[in-house]
Chain A
Amino acid sequence: MRRRQGLLMLCALVVCTAAGVAPPSAAPRRELRVCADPNNLPFSSERREGLENLVMARIARDLGADLTYFWWPQRRGFVRNTLNAGLCDVVPGVPAQYDPVLTTRPYYRSSYVAVSRRADGLHVTTFDDPALSRLRIGVQLIGDNGVNTPPAHALARRHIINNVRGFPVYGDYRRASPAAGIVEAVARGDIDVAFVWGPLAGYFAPRQSLPLDVRMLSVRDDPPGLSLDFDIAMGVRKGNAALRDELDEALLRLRPQIGRILDDFAVPRVEPSTAGR
């Protein structure tokens, strides 16, 4: 039915153009300019197949706006080179406490999770699991000196070091889905358990050749104060409270629809520890 409608519209358009008459236009459509990484599934891709692409498409539809993208690798300097350079108005996925931008209400909260081969029956849910001393462990690692992903810190504090292998969060940008390496290493048997940011694990685990187990950790922070969970929101330029407020309302209105997108991407979610702003 919808397809037929589309065909009809297309025909109408062809006729109009052929007749040399401009199609009747309503008020000019509003543009919603988004900055995203062209090669960073499950979050975003140039083919607009990432979860953030789908969420933005849904919001744009709700606001009656056309989506346009400015693509830039999500690395150090991303906000500076994109949002703050005025090349777009929204960055769809940032932590809710992300200082360089003005953030909306969070639209999901996820956690670092443990990924292992289902056949191994490991069931690791804490960093104090005695098995961790003998397993080969993978962590995502950050380039900046002194900081790292929370599981990397949690393991180091327990002097679990020699059996830990780091996978740069940037991955290998030459390939599609640069961040998949750490999950693939579990499937390949290079490592036994990987502590991975939830959305990455949820998306890549079912795409491997053998069944993987994605397990929520039983701890929420380690040590107290250093969280393993993060609220994810959208970012707009500081000072652009009008757009922020508009996005806030849309995120609230579209909660069920966004929830379904997150389900489709198997994003492991935890309840917000505090109510959204």
Chain B
Amino acid sequence: MCALSGRWSVVLREWLRCTFVLLALPWCLDSGAEAQSLGRQDILTLQDDDAQWVMPAKNYASTRYSRLADITAANVASLRLAWTFDTGVRRGQEAAPLVVGHTMYVVTPFPNILYALDLAKPGAPLKWKYEPRPDPAAQGVACCDVVNRGAAYAGGRIFYATLDAHVVAVDAESGREVWKTKMGEIGQGESMTMAPLVVRDRVLVGNAGGDFGVRGWIAGLDTRDGHIAWRAYNTGPDKDVLIGSRFRPFYAQDRGRDLGVTSWPPDAWRTGGGTVWGWLSYDPELDLVYHGTANPGPWNAEQRPGDNKWTAGMFARDPRTGEAVWFYQWSPHDIHDWDGINELVLLDLPINGQTRKVLIRPERNGYVYVLDRATGEVLSATPYVHNTTTTGVDLKTGRLQYRADKVLEVGRVTREMCPAAPGAKDWQPSSYSPRTGLLYIPHQNLCMDAEPSDVGYIAGTPFQGLTARMYPGPGGHRGELTAWDPIRAKKAWSIKESFPVWSATLTTAGDVVFYGTMDGWLKAVYARTGQPLWQFKLDSGVVGQPVTYRGPDGRQYVAVVAGVGGWAGMIVTNQLDARDASAGKGLANAMRDLPSHTKPGGTLYVFALEAPR
């Protein structure tokens, strides 16, 4: 039931660590010493310290679960606003705040300002801010608002990517830039929006920009000086993909020489997409990092016959060298714009009577996958939304089965494609509670019609447009929070929301699930039943990632940045024309009433239980 059950060595290690922390406490009280000791602390230790939140997904397993239990289902109703901070940036706020020691770090959308707030002082005043001043031209390259999904802490430094495709390391204490590395060319359509993952002395990052015909990659930078230790492309010859002797994919179709070339028409892999703008996870025991790859691009599917490897799938790689260890493809020859970059939740679960090291993936294509994370074998793939475009996943071959009549094609009208292009869910990550054994999946319920439309025009070149018009799926609601049992492969409960649930979920040992809505509510529900417990109206819609931590005063806090935006919220931040059904790549049509429910924002909200009188 519990991811840790039966692992006594872990418990013992935990106990020893706690003891050490207690013994070290007197020296930690001096704040200068605190920063230094944190600098030396291993991420493996920090990720288990529930007072802190050092990476967007909380831990390497990406569970977004905290053992803090001061706030419970019984008392969450008395949660009150403690303090706020205005970031001054009114674009989609998708980043998770980080808490390291007594400091909170918030990174904004473009222009990607990093703020450090002093949690030890009343009202958490600003300690410093760091401004990387990314090239404004990057805004023209970003596909879907100018978001950033967060920073990562390690070794006394904050690491994050800027929209103009640079990675920066900032001294966590002083706000001084330690290094800055250029990773891509905005002139060629590359941008960066993802949150890095730090594994030992590697900062792992990837690019965005599949819509511009870029070639996707993931890279490992040296934490010390920012030099690029390795870069693995997700299309092209094996040597570029870092496929070598260690590569052992589970399924036959993924074995062979240079499949990143041969599964494409000649040269098409050069502009083939497969970017890495989503989530990474890491298993310290297997020493494997896991990352998804975005959809193939950029031209229409009929021009790229083949599986288009290694797009719309996922790799397990060695974090030190980048070498590929296995690969699995969610959507071979993707035709729906289903980027395979969603979160990868690493759990140890009893499957058919034995404990398996698995990886859970609520996929854009509409299935919750359970994979063996050592081998890439699909143990189950179960639909979690209304699905008209595919018929299932063949567990013998691992292949997704497409319906031929639900294919996007120019000159043809195709109706009722469910899920739509943003998929059953997009980047917004789930959380998992070992107490309930449930995965809390924030997602959408959208279908799509596609038909030939008026002309489009880019860089002076006219072409026949294709209007993808999206609308609510069965039930009429556009979003849902689904509690999913990955062992039984079925839904435990769900909550329907009018708008897509475009925020992350957070789950705590108090059996509370937190999530935000696009019309501006932060909500708390009971993790076992979904019963609503508390909600608070913010000044803007939530598309960010709630986190929880223990403040220097010993109290448990919950923090989230409100600020509607991202692909689904573009209609508000970018003031898209709701009369234009194809605006925002067709998603604006389904979101036409959002502007009457919320407005742009960029405020950090922090909550705590009402102080005892």
Subset of 29 A-B contacts with CB under 8 Å? A40-B460, A73-B137, A73-B140, A74-B458, A81-B140, A97-B454, A98-B454, A98-B455, A98-B457, A100-B577, A140-B461, A141-B271, A141-B299, A142-B298, A144-B585, A145-B211, A145-B300, A146-B300, A146-B408, A146-B450, A147-B456, A147-B466, A161-B303, A170-B459, A172-B187, A173-B188, A197-B462, A200-B461, A230-B455
Interface positions of B from 455 to 509, Cβ below 8 Å from A? 455-466, 468
In the complex the two chains form, is B211's CB within 8 Å of A143's CB?
Answer: yes
Instruction: Count chain A residues whose beta carbon lies closer than 8 angstroms to a beta carbon of B.
Output: 61
Does B71 belong to the interface (CB within 8 Å)? no
Does A202 belong to the interface (CB within 8 Å)? no
Task: Chain B residues near A155: list those with CB within 8 A.
Answer: 303
Can you list, as one digit per residue, whether each of B118-143 has a CB less than 8 Å from chain A (1) or not (0)? 00000000000000000001011101
On whether A76 and B211 interact (CB within 8 A), knowing A100-B577, A161-B265, A225-B411, the answer reads yes
In the complex the two chains form, is A148's CB within 8 Å of B299's CB?
Answer: yes
Does B266 belong to the interface (CB within 8 Å)? yes
Interface residue ranges, B against A (CB under 8 Å): 137, 139-141, 143, 185-189, 210-213, 265-268, 271, 295, 297-305, 335-337, 408-411, 421, 450, 452-466, 468, 574-577, 580, 582-583, 585
Task: Chain A residues near B300: list those with CB within 8 A.
Answer: 145-148, 152-153, 156
Task: Chain B residues near A152: list those with CB within 8 A.
Answer: 299-300, 303
CA distance A173 to B213 in the complex (A): 13
On whether A150 and B463 interact (CB within 8 A), knowing A143-B298, A166-B268, A226-B410, the answer reads yes
Query: Majority SS of interface residues in chain A?
Result: loop
Q: B411's contact among A75, A141, A173, A226, by CB below 8 Å, is which?
A: A226
Task: Chain B residues near A142: list those with CB within 8 A.
Answer: 298-299, 456, 458, 461, 463
In the complex the two chains form, is A141's CB within 8 Å of B298's CB?
Answer: yes
Interface residue ranges, A against B (CB under 8 Å): 37, 40, 43, 72-77, 80-81, 84-85, 93-95, 97-100, 140-150, 152-153, 155-157, 161-166, 168-175, 178-179, 197, 199-200, 223, 225-227, 230, 232
Chain B's closest residue to A199 (CB) is: B460
Task: Chain A residues near B265: list those with CB within 8 A.
Answer: 161-162, 164
A93 to chain B, nearest CB (A): 6
In the complex the two chains form, is A166's CB within 8 Å of B457's CB?
Answer: no
Task: Chain B residues near A37: list those with CB within 8 A.
Answer: 459-460
B203 to chain A, nearest CB (A): 25
Task: Chain B residues near A146: list those with CB within 8 A.
Answer: 300-301, 335, 337, 408-410, 450, 466, 468
CA distance A230 to B141 in the complex (A): 26
B574 to chain A, nearest CB (A): 6
Q: B185's contact among A43, A73, A174, by CB below 8 Å, is which?
A: A174
In the complex the two chains form, is B299's CB within 8 Å of A166's CB?
Answer: yes
Q: A144's contact among B267, B298, B303, B460, by CB below 8 Å, is which?
A: B298
